């Protein structure tokens, strides 16, 4: 018998998405968002509110990149979620991280994170119950040392972290426990 | 210097969401979806396409529950992603799992998973680039053994799994590596 816990945002694990954009002066801004998902084979939805500097930046620049936070940069990733680009002029600089311009979209790529999606803004969806920035993923870039021998991303090498919405912790990802579209076949 | 990998759905970790609904005859259906996110303090967005039995069910019943798949049920969770409720009459029954009616919404709760959100359909959003079912989370139910002494969910006890979109594997969640809205404060 399960117990009632009231209204909670009980999705776990949540990704720790690092959204990078340029402001109106070409300055790099990065924010931390857990409320985001892939929503198509080349699309990502980020449920970020309109007050964020990042939202204004993306509206103006029409682009952003999304990196995955890793265990080596938990502190920086968390800082990107605490500090506001609206209030802190040198938000990105304080971390000592480096960014380079994407060659495909008008947005920065944070060098220190292992992987990034380069995205073009394709829609801002706003209804009574839902608000999101929708991006078209035009390319993914990644460090060589997170790829396997075939050049595919080896997720275990990303050292990605995830967010726990219950007690507000970051967790590492553990071991592989099964193959998708495969281990359940015996029940077919 | 990062390498180009082309268009990929590079969000990791992705949750493994178990969406449970009743069909037009009151039969339990469960599907596996990784493309979903919290999108408000009491809202969840599920990016599932219109062809799914689950989509038709939710349209008719106006409700669903979302459980989190765990390591003890990787095989069943994967099966829910392979088998189609449109083609398999006894999709849920084959797993040997048990479901009970939610006391709050017109949807089943799968007993075998440790936690479930009870959701009312509040919107179906469809634009050129985005399609999602939006649910209002009216309550969360969980097993006592995944709660800490204060009754809060201890995420480490959920034994939740996540989905790797690169090589199509399921991973366990590892150790806690930091406190959110806290470990980054020293950079402020």
Any domain includes B6: no
pLDDT in the model for residue A86: 87
Please name the helix (run of DSSP H) or strand (run of DSSP E) that holds residue B63, with its range, or none: strand B63-68
Q: Has residue A130 been placed in a domain?
A: yes
Which residue of B lies nearest to A13 if distances are taken between CA atoms? B15
Residue B32 in domain? yes
Average pLDDT for chain B: 97
pLDDT digits (tens, 9 = 90+) for A63-93: 999 999 999 999 999 999 999 988 888 999 9
The answer for residues whose C-beta is within 8 angstroms of residue B49's C-beta and 6 or more apart is B55, B131
Where chain A has pLDDT below 70, the residues are: none
Helix/strand/coil (H, E, C) string of A24-60?
A: CCCCEEEEEECCEEEEECCEEEECCCCCCHHHHHHHH
pLDDT tens sequence across B103-118: 999 999 999 999 999 9
Tokens matching residue A81: 């979620």
Q: What pLDDT, on a 0 to 100 scale, did the predictor assign at position B89?
A: 86
Closest chain A residue to B127, measured at CA: A125
Q: Which residues of A touch B39 (CB under 8 A)?
A: 35, 47, 130-132
- From chain B, the residues in CB contact with A10 under 8 A are 66, 68, 115, 117, 137, 140, 142, 153
Flag whether A3 is in a domain. no
CA distance B187 to B44: 32
Do residues B66 and B119 make contact, with C-beta atoms less than 8 angstroms apart? yes
Other CB atoms within 10 A of residue A100 CB: 13
Tell me the helix, strand and coil percentages in chain B, rounded to 5.
20, 45, 40
How many domains does chain B divide into?
1
Cβ contacts of B41 on chain A, cutoff 8 Å = 7, 9
The nearest alpha carbon in chain A to B188 belongs to A83
Nearest to A78 among B5, B13, B182 (CB): B182
User: CB–CB of A133/A48 below 8 Å?
Assistant: yes
pLDDT confidence bin for B176, thresholds 50/70/90: very high
Q: Which of chain B's residues have a Cβ under 8 Å away from the Cβ of A159? A: none
Averaged pLDDT, B34-39: 98
Q: Which pLDDT value is given to residue A12?
A: 98
- Which residues on A lie below 8 Å from B108 (Cβ)? none
Report the pLDDT value the prediction gives residue A178, as an integer from 0 to 100.
98
CB contact under 8 A, A12 and B125: no
Residue numbers of the domain that contains A44: 14-187
Is A137's CB within 8 Å of B8's CB?
yes
Q: Which one of A11, A97, A143, A152 would you mutate to disrupt binding with B, by most B Cβ within 10 Å of its Cβ?
A: A11
- Contact at CB, A47 and B35, closer than 8 angstroms: no
**Which of B68, B141, B178 lies at the smallest CB-CB distance from A12?**
B68
Which of B5, B39, B187 minimises the CB distance to A79?
B187
Q: Looking at the predicted structure, is the pLDDT value of residue B14 above 90?
A: yes
User: What's the pLDDT at A13?
Assistant: 98
A45/A34 Cα distance (integer angstroms): 11
B7 lies in a domain? no
pLDDT of residue A134: 98
> Is residue B93 included in any domain, yes or no?
yes
Tokens 């039995």 identify what position? B53
Q: What is the pLDDT of residue B88?
A: 87
Domain containing residue A128: CATH number: 2.30.110.10
Q: Is residue A2 part of a domain?
A: no
Residue A185 CA, distance from chain mean position? 32
pLDDT in tens, B118-165: 999 999 999 999 999 999 999 999 999 999 999 999 999 999 999 999
All residues of chain A having their beta carbon less than 8 Å from the beta carbon of residue B144 are 3
The answer to whether residue A4 is domain-embedded is no
Closest CA to B161 of B42, B52, B43, B75: B75
* pLDDT at res. A19: 98
Number of inter-chain CB pairs under 8 A, A vs B = 375
What is the distance between the alpha carbons of residues B32 and B16, in angstroms, rounded to a whole number?
7
- Distance between CA atoms of A2 and B115, rounded to whole angstroms? 8
Give the list of residues 6+ apart from residue A165 with CB closer than 8 angstroms, or none.
A8, A9, A10, A11, A12, A14, A34, B38
A1, A35, A39, A71, best to mutate vs chain B, most B CBs in 10 Å = A39
């Amino acid at each position: 018998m399960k117990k009632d816990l009231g209204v909670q945002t009980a999705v776990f694990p949540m990704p720790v998405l690092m959204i990078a954009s340029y402001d109106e002066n070409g300055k790099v801004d990065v924010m931390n968002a857990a409320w985001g998902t892939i929503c198509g084979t080349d699309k990502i939805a980020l449920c970020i509110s309109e007050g964020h500097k990042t939202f204004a930046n993306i509206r103006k620049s029409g682009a952003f990149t999304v990196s995955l936070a890793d265990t080596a940069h938990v502190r920086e990733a968390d800082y990107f979620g605490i500090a506001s680009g609206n209030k802190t002029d040198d938000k990105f600089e304080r971390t000592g991280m480096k960014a380079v311009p994407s060659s495909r979209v008008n947005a920065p790529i944070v060098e220190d994170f292992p992987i990034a999606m380069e995205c073009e803004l394709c829609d801002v969806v706003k209804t009574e119950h839902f608000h999101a920035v929708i991006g078209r993923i035009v390319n993914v870039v990644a460090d060589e040392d997170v790829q396997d021998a075939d050049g595919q991303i080896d997720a275990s090498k990303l050292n990605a972290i995830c967010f726990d919405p219950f007690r507000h912790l970051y967790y590492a990802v553990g071991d592989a426990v099964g193959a998708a579209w495969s281990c359940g076949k015996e029940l077919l």
